[in-house]
Structure 1
Amino acid sequence: MYCSVGLARSLGLALLPLALCCIVANLLLLFPMGESAYIQQNRLANYILYFGGLGGGGLLMLIPAVAFSTLGKCGCCWNESLMMCGSVLAAVVGLVGSGYCFVISGLALIEGPQCFTILGWGYPFAGDQGRYLLQPERWSNCTQPVHIVEWNVTLLCVLLGLAVLEFIICLIQLGSGLVNAICRPCCYKQEYSLNA
């Protein structure tokens, strides 16, 4: 049990900086090149306003991060199986949050940014299923906000990577918590029958 609690605490501590980085990356997406004018004029890509990094990979991820890192420290009289069941539920919340962050970031990356071109404001890359990512010579078609394609691609790729790491961490804790929640009672029954 102590090994699994130690693992959970380590995973929780690893989730905290990842969640904070997701929040920061999503906030940066809201202010291209540090300017607030585009959010006020509703000139941001649709999927950025779904707050995949802020909500899913960030705030929602704080639930498993805190639950894992404080596992066994609350001074409660919970038995070990119940404690592990709680960590399993927190891991499921984390899987949902990281999955949401990954999907929204991926969709935003495929759609491309809303920007100003010679045709006016629009989504010049929306119809090409993300092929623009491999054609950086087309990125200069977006004249406003300046370097918006590079800005979005970089931050959305960061969010995708962070979401994958968060998903893996929560999956590890889900597996560990399930094994401990299911197997611990069996071990106790065997120990009890041997002692009797």
Structure 2
Amino acid sequence: MCYGKCARCLGITLVPLALLCIIANTLLFFPNGQTGFNTPERLAESVWCFSGILGSGVLMIFPVLVFLGMENNDCCGCCGNESCGKRFANFSSVIFAGIGVAGAAYCFIVSAVGLNLGPKCTTNSNINYTYIFTDGDYLANHSMWNECKDPPNIVTWHVTLFSLLLVMSGVQIVLCAFQVVNGLIGFICGDCCSCCGSA
């Protein structure tokens, strides 16, 4: 197994996931595609944590760049040892994979909290934007969703996007955790690909 090629495949997979997380988090600021509700008083606090933009988006750039560059990493011969450059690259990928895990875990936790609390909305009896659901009970009872009157369709919007963020950040955690293991094995055992190539 070539650890550099494996890391590159993981990096390629993480790119669209990071972009989709950024898009999903951005859409949370525009309930039902409308722009008049993006204030802290009208949107859930979990939206303002920017978990998809920062955690699963921006922070994921660093491990992606490292993973994509590992296959072509050419720093062999350091310290008089052909394999030490590849070993160092594998070790550095472990560090950056840890950053990826932390960012994705942040998004995962915020998304879970956001789903549990539900969105802020108004009801027939309350014109103030508040959390009307508790302990995630509304997720299994769709009839409760009709209690939210404004923003329109906010519950569907909120649940769909936070569910997507939860799933995508979960996949990112698995991929980055896999690279932690992959990188550690590559660091300990050395890389199977020839570092300097053949003449």
Separation in structure 1 between the aligned mates of residue 162 and residue 181 of structure 2, nearest angstrom: 28
Give the Cα separation in 1 of the matches to 2:40 and 2:183: 47
CA distance in 2, matches of 1:11, 1:41: 36
Aligned residue number for residue 194 of structure 1: none
Quote the offset at 1:31 in angstroms. Answer: 0.9
Say which SS state the counterpart of residue 38 (structure 2) adopts.
helix
Judge which range, 13-22 or 58-67, deviates more.
Answer: 58-67
- Alignment correspondent of 1:22: 21
Aligned with residue 189 of structure 2, among 180, 183, 190 = 183
**Contact kept in structure 1, 2:3 and 2:182, CA below 8 Å:** yes
> How far, CA to CA, are the matches of 1:129 and 1:19 in structure 2?
29
Quote the offset at 1:13 in angstroms. Answer: 0.3
Structure 2 CA distance, aligned partners of 1:67 and 1:139?
A: 44
Shift of 1:42: 3.3
Contact (CA 8 Å) 1:88, 1:177: kept in 2 or not? yes
Assess if the C-alpha contact under 8 Å between 1:72 and 1:83 holds in 2.
no
Deviation, 1:72, is: 4.0
Deviation at 1:139, TM superposition (A): 0.4
Where does residue 136 of structure 1 map in the other structure?
142
Confirm or deny that 1:122 pairs with 2:130.
yes
Letter of the 2:114 counterpart:
A
Instruction: Find the counterpart in structure 2 of residue 164 from structure 1.
Output: 170
Contact 1:52 1:101 in 2 (8 A): yes
- How much has 1:184 moved relative to structure 2? 2.6
Q: Percent identity?
A: 38
Distance 1:171-1:72 versus aligned 2 partners, 3 A rule: same
The residue number in structure 2 matching 1:193 is: none
Offset at 1:74?
A: 5.1
Who is 2:53 aligned against? 54
Q: Matched residues in 1 for 2:22 and 2:96: separation? A: 19
Match of 1:104, SS state, is helix
Helix, strand or coil at the partner of 1:159: helix
Question: Which secondary structure state, in structure 1, belongs to the residue aligned with residue 101 of structure 2?
Answer: helix
1:94 maps to amino acid: G
How far apart are the structure 2 equivalents of 1:45 and 1:76?
48
Q: TM-score, normalised by structure 2?
A: 0.87
**Matched residue SS, 1:117:** coil
Corresponding position of 2:118: 112
Secondary structure of 1:5 counterpart: helix
Contact 2:5 2:71 in 1 (8 A): no
Q: 1:67 offset after TM fit, Å?
A: 1.1
**TM-score (normalised: structure 1):** 0.88
Return the structure number with greater helix share. 1
